[in-house]
Structure formats: structure tokens, C-alpha cells
């Protein structure tokens, strides 16, 4: 990866709250769960920009939150080397990614960046769907224990529910839509008994009965999610009364 520097500006900055779903009732009626079938494929992500690597997760999250404030789709993750890295963007070519990075440094938004090729992403190939499913579960579980954020009131505090699923798919190279209701619309319906690791599960937690919550299915009837304001990312069971009574259906994307 080529490293590029721009105007000196401190980039260290906190833990990301993605306020793209889980806000309550949405204007569209939910589709009922359907039968499992051929999933609707998601687009593969192209080149990305890496804007920093930090030993402390708080610093990576601060930077991700700041870049989001600039309108960039930044997220962070813990790499195998133990560093927490911040990435954003989906560019068709290395040149396009580099030009965008250079423009952002001229604006003082970035201090340093790397261009990351698609093959350098921490993902499995879709030709091996079982490996991809396992990678999605590992990625989601890596955020276990982080606090939940609803509505973006304090972006330094954690993820919202659709931010967790969006980030998990994105870090594995798949362009999942951002909000819970667009994630619901994008996938292929799958019955509860046919759920597989990496599918998404949706709930109506408000009075409207519409999509307002999403988690990532693991196995054995369990899923991982950002549960509620004041809670932390963790696992739950679909047959728990609260989730059983509010379950809308599952969706598959590959």
C-alpha cells in the first residue's frame, strides 16, 4: 500500500456511533418472511482509503467519528496485528482512490492515508460461502462488549444496530446498505428454520410493527446485535420471548 501525507493535522480522535437505523418506526410496511431462495447478491467493494492505525481503540473510533462528520463512510476494525485501523470509501481504481485521498489532505481532513486494494481487505471469497459466513461472525463478535448508541446523540459511545451489521459486511468486502430498513429491502427472504451464519435477522421493536432493529445470525438460534440504549453489543436467542414476539424475518445476501 502506498503511503501519502498531507497537511499536518492531528487525526487521533473516538468510538463510532452509526445512526442509520434503529431509530423507531419507519414509513414502509414490512414484507412478511418468505421462503428461502436465491439471494440477491451484494456488490463487491473496490479500493478503499486507510486513514490511520492506532493501538488504542478509542483513538481509531474518534477518527472514524470525525470522518463521518465530514460525510465519509468511515469505520474501524481491529486488524490481526493488533492495531485498530480506520478505512472508508469504495473506488473503482487505485488512481481514483489516490486522487480522493490527495484532495482530502489538501482540505486538511486527512494527514496521512494508504490506498487499500480489494484483495487486501480482511475477507473471504464468495466462492467459499462457508468461509465468508465464518468471517462475518468473527468480525461481528470482535465488537462484543462495545456500548450501543441510538440516534447519534453522543457518537463517542458506540454502534447503533444497523451500523454493526453494515460495518461487519463492509469489512468483509460486501456493500450492504446502511439503514435497517434498506438492509431489509435488499436481501432475499429466508425462513427462520433455514437461517445460516451471516444472514441478518430483523425485528419490529416499536408499536408500528415496522422494521426497527437488526442483528447478525450466528448459529443455533443465536444472533449478535447492539441491543438497546444503555446496553452493549452481545448475543441473544431468537426464542427469547422479547425477540420471538417481535421477529419479522431473515434476509440473505450471498
Kindly report, residue by residue over 179-213, the tens digit of the pLDDT: 898 999 999 999 999 999 999 999 998 888 889 99
219-226 average pLDDT score: 96
CA 2 – CA 185 distance, rounded (Å): 38
Decide if pLDDT at 229 tops 80.
Answer: no
Closest Cα to residue 162, out of 44, 14, 15, 18? 18
CA distance 178 to 166: 6
What is the topology classification, in CATH, of domain 3-252?
A: endopeptidase fold (from Nostoc punctiforme) (3.90.1720)
In this prediction, residue 155 has a pLDDT band, given cuts at 50, 70 and 90, of: very low
pLDDT in tens, 35-93: 445 556 788 889 999 999 999 888 988 898 899 889 998 888 888 888 989 999 999 99
3-state secondary structure of 88: strand
**Active-site residue, 225 included:** yes
Q: Which of 22, 84, 181, 213 is catalytic?
A: 213
Look at 119 and 227; give whichever has higher pLDDT: 227
Residue by residue, DSSP assigns 48-74 as EEEEEEESSHHHHHHHHHHHHHTT---
Q: Does 213 participate in catalysis according to the annotation?
A: yes
Task: Name the active-site residue from 22, 84, 181, 225.
Answer: 225
Look at residue 70 in the predicted model and tell me its pLDDT. Answer: 94
Q: Identify the band that residue 21 occupies on the pLDDT scale cut at 50, 70 and 90.
A: very low
What are the structural domain ranges in the chain?
3-252
Q: What phi and psi values does residue 88 have, to the nearest 5 degrees? A: -160, 165
The reported pLDDT for the residue numbered 125 is 54
Catalytic entry in 22, 84, 161, 181 = 161
pLDDT, residue 91, reads: 95
Query: Per-residue confidence at 18, pLDDT binned at 50, 70, 90?
Result: very low
Amino acid at each position: 500500500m502506498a503511503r501519502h501525507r498531507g497537511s499536518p493535522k492531528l487525526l487521533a480522535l473516538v468510538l463510532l456511533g452509526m445512526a442509520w437505523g434503529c431509530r423507531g418506526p419507519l414509513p414502509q410496511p414490512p414484507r412478511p418472511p418468505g421462503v428461502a431462495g436465491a439471494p440477491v447478491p451484494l456488490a463487491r467493494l473496490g479500493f478503499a482509503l486507510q486513514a490511520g492505525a492506532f493501538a488504542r481503540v478509542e483513538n481509531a473510533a474518534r477518527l472514524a467519528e470525525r470522518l463521518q462528520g465530514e460525510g465519509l463512510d468511515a469505520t474501524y476494525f481491529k486488524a490481526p496485528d493488533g492495531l485498530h485501523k480506520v478505512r472508508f470509501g469504495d473506488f473503482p481504481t487505485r488512481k481514483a482512490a489516490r486522487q480522493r485521498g490527495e484532495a482530502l489532505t489538501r482540505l486538511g481532513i486527512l494527514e496521512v492515508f494508504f490506498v487499500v486494494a480489494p484483495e487486501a481487505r480482511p475477507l473471504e471469497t464468495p466462492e467459499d460461502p462457508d468461509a465468508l459466513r465464518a468471517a462475518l461472525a468473527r468480525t461481528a463478535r470482535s465488537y462484543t462488549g462495545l456500548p450501543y448508541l441510538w440516534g447519534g446523540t453522543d457518537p463517542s459511545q458506540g454502534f447503533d444496530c444497523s451500523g454493526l451489521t453494515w460495518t461487519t459486511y463492509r469489512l468483509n468486502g460486501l456493500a450492504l446498505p446502511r439503514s435497517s430498513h434498506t438492509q431489509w429491502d435488499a436481501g432475499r427472504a429466508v425462513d427462520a428454520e433455514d437461517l445460516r451464519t451471516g444472514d441478518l435477522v430483523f425485528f419490529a421493536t416499536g408499536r408500528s410493527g415496522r422494521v426497527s432493529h437488526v442483528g447478525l445470525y450466528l448459529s443455533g438460534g443465536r444472533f449478535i446485535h447492539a441491543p438497546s440504549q444503555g446496553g452493549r453489543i452481545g448475543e441473544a436467542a431468537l426464542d427469547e420471548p422479547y425477540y420471538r414476539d417481535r421477529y419479522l424475518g431473515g434476509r440473505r445476501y450471498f
